[in-house]
Structure 1
Amino acid sequence: MTIAGQADLAYVVYAPERRHPVEVTAAREGAIVDWLSQRLNRPLSVPSLREYGYALPGGRRLPGAAGPAAQFMYEDGAGARLALYVSPASQRETAIHVLREGDRRTFSWANDHMGCALSGRMAEGQLRKIAVDVCSEPGGHPEPWR
């Protein structure tokens, strides 16, 4: 299964959860980033999506095809959710791709052997814009993707 497929599956399982959408809350954002960085054995950063109206309730550790993966859940004031999935990748770098499943979209890419995917239920153009911004946060190269 591709990273986009793994991210989409994790989104389908955890985004609808009302009581436990995350394993660790973001009450102390630094603690969750440190915890997941240790689990993935590499430093992670969590992009802010506040400019798009989304806050970070927390995240969780998940299994990935190449080892542990992390999922960061974001939520807006109306309860809509986006999920950022991060996992080691065999590719050094890949351009951004989209996976379409029903009303869900997942944009995925790889940079420096780290795969990322952003999943959500929103207009494709809007989710792509957010994904490009998210790509640049951990060091992606979104310039040719716009």
Structure 2
Amino acid sequence: GRGWVAPQPPAMVAALPQEAARAHLVYSREVLHPVEVTAKEEAHLVAWLSKRLGRPLTVPVLTAQGYALVGGRLLPAAADNAAAAQFMYENRGGQRLTLYVRSGEPAQDTAFRFAGEGAAAAFYWVDGGFGYALAGETGREALLPLARAVYEQLGR
């Protein structure tokens, strides 16, 4: 049966999609204050969040997939008083996606995984010391190509 079942991720990594989905559900529904810093100040946003997470961040571009960056915010992460970044995207129909980024992940990269948390679903992975989770209130099939686009851009 070797190779049939992927090994389970460490507990800290397994909590990643839950953190991302909860944050998505709270902030994606905000009308007036969905983000702390808007996309108009993208350079400032990226510099600020990079500094707080202790490593340079990249913000994926999803315009080809129909989503524009709304902005982002700083969030607490569950592990060791760590910080996380959340980038929010929105399509013309008002549907929102969020990319949750946490630094200080285990050195071992993980497989691309899917998890659901209430009304939200997330694809998540660990790569290069960052934990990433793309969350949305869409089905798995609609979220998968978006998550692949993010994964490919961040893997450069």
Instruction: Give the TM-score of the pair, scaled to structure 1.
Output: 0.90
Structure 1 residue 91, shift from structure 2 partner: 4.4
Q: Counterpart of 2:97? A: 82
In 1, are the aligned partners of 2:18 and 2:117 still within 8 Å (CA)?
Answer: no
Detail structure 1 runs of 4+ shifted over 3 Å in the superposition: none
Give the drift of 1:90.
2.2
Q: Which has the larger radius of gyration?
A: 2
The RMSD of aligned alpha carbons is 1.4
- List runs of 5+ in structure 1 lacking aligned partners: 141-146
For the 8 Å contact 1:26–1:56, the answer to whether it is kept is yes
Aligned counterparts of 2:78 and 2:139: Cα–Cα separation in 1: 28
Report the 3-state secondary structure (helix = DSSP H, G, I; strand = E; otherwise coil) of the residue aligned with 2:146. helix
Deviation, structure 1 residue 139? 1.7
Alpha-carbon displacement from aligned partner over 1:23-81 (angstroms, at most 9, x marks no partner): 11110211111111011010000001101111111000001134110000001111110
- Partner residue of 1:132? 148
What is residue 38 of structure 1 aligned with on the other side? 51
Kept in 2: contact 1:36–1:70 (CA 8 A):
yes
Shift of 1:83: 0.2
* TM-aligned CA distance change 1:84 to 1:108, over 3 Å: same
In the alignment, structure 1 residue 10 sits paired with structure 2 residue 23 = yes
Taking the aligned partners of 2:93 and 2:149, their CA distance within structure 1 comes to 22
Distance (Å, rounded) in 2 between the aligned partners of 1:137 and 1:129: 12
Cα contact 2:24–2:135 (8 A) shared by 1: yes
CA separation in 1, counterparts of 2:126 and 2:39? 25
- AA of the residue aligned to 2:90: E
Partner Cα separation in structure 2 for residue 110 and residue 124 of structure 1:
19
Q: What is the distance in 2 between the residues matched to 1:20 and 1:109?
A: 28
What stretches of structure 2 of length at least 5 have no aligned partner? Answer: 1-11
Q: Percent identity?
A: 46
Q: Is structure 2 residue 143 aligned with structure 1 residue 120?
A: no
Q: CA deviation at 1:102?
A: 4.0
Kept after mapping to 2: 8 A contact 1:54/1:75: yes
Question: Which residue, out of 86, 92, 111, partners 1:71?
Answer: 86
Q: Please give the per-residue CA displacement for 1:59-112, whole angstroms capped at 9, x wherever unaligned.
A: 000011341100000011111100000002124300111112344211110001
- Give, in angstroms, the shift of residue 8 of structure 1: 0.5
**In the TM superposition, what whole-angstrom CA distance separates every residue of 1:5-29 from its partner, at most 9, and x where no partner exists?**
1000100110100110001111021
**Contact in 2 for aligned 1:44/1:138 (Cα 8 Å):** no
Structure-2 separation of matches of 1:99 and 1:68:
22
